[in-house]
Structure 1
Amino acid sequence: MRSAAPGDAENVAAMLLARCRWLEQRGLPTWRDSVEDIAGQTANVPGAMWLLEAANGRVLGCTTVLESAPPWGWTPQEFAEPSLYLYTTATDPAFRAFRPGALIAWWAVDRAAREGFSWVRRGCLFEELGHYYKEQGFDLVHEVQRTRHRVLLFARRAEPVAGLREMFVRPAAVAKELTGTRQPPGAGR
């Protein structure tokens, strides 16, 4: 994982468009109308958007990381707790077998623990995606009605993730080991 830079926008857009095509082939909603805006987040403050990148430089995924959740949907106590919030996490569907979304999530959980945050939080609109978040060890905390959409809000305690470095080095072997698990090997939930 590395911090995105403005020069990454084209590669991020290509990855997002690949994800959009994959979703459209399955009749699912996409970010197609927002690809340019999301890819443009590479120009935000350094450290806001992060990239999962292959050794050859191909962008396999991205996420935007902020230091708090949105002010709606969380109790005042939850909102006051130090947390990282993941926005617009997306991955290249050509690499689904390696579970890049889980790798990004576990990186965030480990990073949050190293930096003194208590939680990693995220939200989504679709139950199917929520099930994937649960497989990554996140718990559904709240369901909030926002205008026309019901938003599912998830949280996971920040903690060191055992074996994280190896997961980045040997993704194929680790992905095989992780099939059907709720958390990475050795995680102390």
Structure 2
Amino acid sequence: MIIESATADDVAKLLAFREEAAAWLSELGSDQWRRPYPADRLLATIDAGTVFMVRDGAVTAATITLTPDAEAGLWSGEELAEPSIFVNKLTVARTHAGLDLGGRLLDWAGDRAYRSGASWLRLDAWTTNAELQQYYLRHGFEHVRTVTEGGAVNGGPRVSGWLAQRPARLDAAHGLTDRVPLPTSIKLPDISQ
């Protein structure tokens, strides 16, 4: 399997991935990702070069978004001063479920984070999805805290505020053929404002 940068041609596939994942999560009793994701926001992240696709031959098997930018209101100023890469929208096609492709992608992300100068690979997960939280714990992440206040809509409850991190590290054992250019050093966000 190869990993490469997403292109504008991948928007429809990425939206379908999200719908497939939302339907699967709903069957499990989770309300995660029920709201449709705006295609224009997705295209903006692709244009920024932060979205990556795993291809298994002609089939798209998974996707991950990596960014040096954290969602506002989750991480402390002290944490944001530490060089970090944040995992978003990790999704594996149901056709490739059960193969630990998500774990391999997390290892690839940790390797990429390390090569860009980051100390941490961080993420926020759905606060009510205990199974997903356990998945991340099994893959070496440590729970930092759960942020429940200050959601995006009118400061209401936050739905994706379970914070976790693991050290960034070299890890070529992910087994993915990497066709993504090596990252440049990350720039720390300006937290003085």
- TM above 0.5: yes
The TM-score, its normalising length taken from structure 2, stands at 0.76
Query: SS of 1:50's equivalent?
Result: strand
Q: How far apart in 2 are the matches of 1:38 and 1:124?
A: 21
Q: Is the 8 A contact 1:61 1:90 kept in 2?
A: yes
Q: How far apart in 2 are the matches of 1:160 and 1:86?
A: 17
Residue 132 of structure 1 pairs with residue 141 of structure 2: no
Query: Which 4+ runs in 1 deviate beyond 4 A?
Result: none
Q: Is the 8 A contact 1:10 1:39 kept in 2?
A: no
Higher normalized contact order (CA 8 Å, seq sep 6+, divided by chain length): 2
Alpha-carbon spacing, 1:25–1:7, altered in 2? closer, same or farther (3 Å): same
Query: SS of 1:121's equivalent?
Result: strand
One-letter amino acid of the counterpart of residue 28, structure 2: R
User: Shift of the alpha carbon at 1:152?
Assistant: 0.7
One-letter amino acid of the counterpart of residue 49, structure 1: V
The TM-score, its normalising length taken from structure 1, stands at 0.77
Residue 97 of structure 1 pairs with residue 98 of structure 2: yes
Query: SS of 2:147's equivalent?
Result: strand
1:12-71 per-residue CA deviation (whole Å, 9 max, x = no partner) reads 222222222222222322424324x26851453242111122122x22222221113234
1:25 to 24, 27, 51: 27
Q: Is the 8 A contact 1:123 1:153 kept in 2?
A: yes
Aligned to 1:168: 176
Q: Is the 8 A contact 1:112 1:158 kept in 2?
A: yes
Aligned residues: 165
Of Structure 1 and Structure 2, which has the larger fraction of its residues in helix?
1
Q: Is the 8 A contact 2:108 2:172 kept in 1?
A: no
Alpha-carbon spacing, 1:54–1:39, altered in 2? closer, same or farther (3 Å): farther
Query: SS of 1:34's equivalent?
Result: coil
Q: How far apart in 2 are the matches of 1:90 and 1:135?
A: 17
> What are the equivalent positions in structure 2 for 1:58-97 lying under 5 Å apart?
58-97=59-98
2:10 to 4, 8, 11: 8
Aligned to 2:56: 54
Alpha-carbon spacing, 1:55–1:46, altered in 2? closer, same or farther (3 Å): farther
Q: Is the 8 A contact 1:12 1:59 kept in 2?
A: no
Q: Is the 8 A contact 2:4 2:54 kept in 1?
A: yes
List runs of 5+ in structure 1 lacking aligned partners: 170-189
Q: How far apart in 2 are the matches of 1:60 and 1:39?
A: 22
Q: How far apart in 2 are the matches of 1:43 and 1:74?
A: 23
Q: How far apart in 1 are the matches of 2:40 and 2:72?
A: 24
List runs of 5+ in structure 2 lacking aligned partners: 150-155, 178-193
Alpha-carbon spacing, 1:156–1:39, altered in 2? closer, same or farther (3 Å): farther
Aligned to 2:189: none
